[in-house]
Amino acid sequence: MRVSVAIMFAAGTALIMLAGCNRNPAQPPASPQTPTATAPAPAQPPAPPPIPPATELPVNSVDSVMLSRPQDEPMAIIIHVSGTAVSAGWTGAKLAEESDGGADNSVKTYKFVATSPDMPGEDRTAQPIEAEIRVDSLSPDIKTIRIVSSTNEVSAPIAQ
């Protein structure tokens, strides 16, 4: 008798455990007439605007700024800038002085510009570009040089 009670107890426990495992609600079978919803395709990012040919524009980014003083004129400063153009073929890279319009008088700002290619192509592979300028006279109040591009700016302190 003890064995049959133990077997019944084990069988009952197994049935309760199996019944507790199926916790999913009853789902009606899918109707073949019900249309399936499809997610809309993600929107394509907008194409970059075309580059106007042979136009002086800010370069894409400034990567580094180096300041040095020439030995022949210790009060002058040479600003060497490297960065990237948005595509190949950019020419005439230079630093154009920006008017600060009453901003911080201790910062001198230059815009890093270059001339776009005559025949801009579809290839938008970034290309390295460099420019250098020598500034013979700089106010002693200027403590920092800031270089601005179309996507970023980099500042460098002037060593006294």
50 domain residue, yes or no = no
97 domain residue, yes or no = yes
Whole-model pTM: value is 0.68
Q: H-type helices in 64-150, by residue range?
A: none
- Total count of domains within the chain: 1
**pLDDT of 129-152, one tens digit each?**
999 999 998 888 999 999 999 999
**pLDDT of 86-105, one tens digit each?**
889 999 999 999 987 667 88
20 domain residue, yes or no = no
CB 122 within 8 A of CB 36: no
In this prediction, residue 14 carries a pLDDT of: 66
Q: Which residues of the chain have pLDDT under 50?
A: none
90 domain residue, yes or no = yes
Return d(Cα 56, Cα 152) in angstroms, integer. Answer: 18
Q: Quickly tell me which residue has 């609600």 as its tokens.
A: 25
33 domain residue, yes or no = no
Number of H helices, E strands in the chain: 1, 8
Three-state SS at 62? strand
In this prediction, residue 144 carries a pLDDT of: 95
For residue 137, give the amino acid letter.
S
